[in-house]
Amino acid sequence: MFWQKDLETMPRPKLEELQLERLRWIVDYCIRNVPFYAKRLGEAGVTAEKIKTLSDIQYIPYTNKTDIRDNYPNGLFAVPMSKIVRIHASSGTTGKPTVVGYTKNDLNNWADQIARLATAVGVTAEDVFQISFGYGLFTGALGLHYGLERIGCAVIPASAGNTQKQLMMLRDMKVTGLVSTPSYALYMSECALEGSEPMSDYHLRIGLFGSEGCTPEMRSQIEKNWGLFATDNYGLSELMGPGVSGECEKRQGLHIAEDHYYPEIIDPITLQPKAPGEQGELVVTTLTKEGFPMLRYRTKDISRLNYEPCACGRTHCRMDKVTGRTDDMLKIRGVNVFPSQVESVLIGMEHIGPHYQLVVRREGFADTLEVKVELINGELLESYSELEKLQRKIHDQLKSILGIETKISLVEPKTLERFQGKAKRILDLRGENSLK
């Protein structure tokens, strides 16, 4: 069992003392080792000595993804390459990838953070975990891999793809834990249910899911299909990778590893801090990262923070499951629309599957939203009255949630694309065609 009790149950005043000490250290560290931060903090008049309280973090300028790309590939590294032992990077699908570096100490801290969140949901050295994330520059697979090994789990680095082989390994190796995106876990469960082997041949009990959003409705469907306990964890490559936060067995929010990260919530428009408990954009400062420190990084993720002690005994604040991203939010006729809102209506509805696509078009001077939904049984397409009834039901429920008109298109089973990594739900055809 991996249980850092002294750190995870630290009284709030003592935890904040540690955060202040580490915040002052990271500011000084960045000034001494990262020219970008030395210049930016100098212009803002910020030094470690001027950080008297945690609230003084407000004087530190924000860092965003553009800053990282402008300093590609390693302009924000705080140590020479001789001290870097691992490099990861984002996919770079929208431009230059964001390259991040890790020292040996960073990797040790990272493994601890993963081991901590996995232990919080009941993972032990007796578990066998299959990692169905793609291995490579993506941080998810190796991050979870080394953290689970730290606990003592047997780890199968299956990577993504080749679903039938994945299912065979789950059965034959009596795998008890699965690491993947929620959408791939759901797809794998559909394949298992359709397969010739009985579900009793599977032994999964815990799912550590991440890398994309997962609504309560999708989680319930995964749990129903697999018969496991599904949990969510959160992280970004720019901060470390997975391990920034994770759920405990109570599943009342994701505990942030506050001894390593200082979180804030801001208004994404005004950039002003929001009051505790208010929803807004999550901003995170790394407090211990040596290779690639980040000061007030704007994650673009929408969440809120809860500082009340958790029933599990842990005192670190909890963040809500991310409800969407400010840069993934769709603006349709003046209304903010998140894919998670659509998913919450569709998942579990009779006659339709969990796969959908949002198609946005501009017709004249107005934006339109088409929701493509996959049927479970294609025979329904032969019954116009039943089809119309189902379309109306989906339409009315979405209008109630979103407040706008949508076009509902019901498509044949297995015609929408499946994803082994992050699901791409949005096809934005306004202006140039772009798949988000």
Q: Where are the domains of the chain?
A: 1-327, 330-435
Q: Is residue 117 predicted with pLDDT exceeding 50?
A: yes
pLDDT for position 365: 63
Domains 1-327 and 330-435 share a fold: no
Residues 6+ apart with CB under 8 A from 236: 244, 284, 297, 299
- pLDDT at 253 (0 to 100): 97
Residue pair 215/340 in contact (Cβ under 8 Å)? The answer is yes
The DSSP code sequence of 343-407 is HHHHTT-TTEEEEEEEEEEEETTEEEEEEEEEES-GGGGG-HHHHHHHHHHHHHHHHHHHSS--E
Q: For the residues 231-258, what does the mean pLDDT come to?
A: 96
Specify the amino acid at residue 208. L
> And the tokens for 157?
């680095």
Starting at the edge strand found earlier in the chain, the sheet holding 177-180 runs 154-156, 128-131, 177-180, 206-209, 229-236, 241-247, 254-256, 318-319, 305-306
Average pLDDT over residues 401-425: 85
Q: What average pLDDT score do residues 40-49 get?
A: 98
| CATH superfamily of the domain spanning 1-327 | ANL, N-terminal domain (3.40.50.12780)
Distance CA 57, CA 46 (A): 9
Q: What pLDDT does 334 receive?
A: 64
pLDDT for 402 beyond 90:
no
Q: What is the arithmetic mean of pLDDT over 204-231?
A: 92
SS (H, E, C) 364-382: CCEEEEEEEEEECCHHHHH
* Residues 281 and 299 sit within 8 Å (Cβ to Cβ): yes
CA distance 143 to 241: 7
- Average of pLDDT values for 1-15? 93
pLDDT band at 256, cuts 50/70/90? very high
**Backbone dihedral angles phi then psi of residue 350, each to the nearest 5 degrees:** -60, 140
Instruction: Examine the pLDDT at 217 and tell me if it is beyond 90.
Output: no
Q: What average pLDDT does the structure give for the chain?
A: 91
Whether the per-residue pLDDT at 40 is higher than 50: the answer is yes
pLDDT of residue 234: 95
Q: What is the pTM of this model?
A: 0.80
pLDDT given at position 63: 98
pLDDT at 435: 37
Judge whether residue 433 has pLDDT over 70: no
Say what the pLDDT of residue 95 is.
61
- Dist CA 89 CA 97 (whole Å): 6
> In the prediction, which pLDDT does 347 show?
80
**H and E: helices and strands count for the chain:** 11, 22
Mean pLDDT of 287-305: 96
pLDDT at 340: 76
Q: Per-residue pLDDT tens for 313-335?
A: 999 999 999 877 776 667 687 67
State residue 343's pLDDT score. 83
Give the pLDDT confidence of 45-104 residue by residue, as tens digits: 999 999 999 999 999 999 998 999 899 999 999 999 999 999 999 765 446 788 999 999
Asked if 150 and 112 count as a contact pair (C-beta separation under 8 A), the reply is yes
| Residue with the larger pLDDT of the pair 94 and 109 | 109
Residue 166: CA atoms inside 13 Å, Cβ hemisphere, count?
A: 27
Rounded to whole angstroms, the Cα distance separating 128 from 392 reads 45
Q: Does domain 330-435 have CATH number 3.40.50.970?
A: no
The residue among 354 and 206 whose pLDDT is bigger is 206
Q: At what angle do helices 12-33 and 35-44 cross, to 10 degrees?
A: 110
pLDDT in the model for residue 93: 45
* Residue-level pLDDT at 58: 97
Give the model's pLDDT for residue 432.
47
Look at residue 113 in the predicted model and tell me its pLDDT: 97
Model pLDDT, residue 199: 98
Helix 339-346 / helix 384-402 crossing angle, nearest 10 deg = 140
Greater pLDDT, 131 or 269: 131
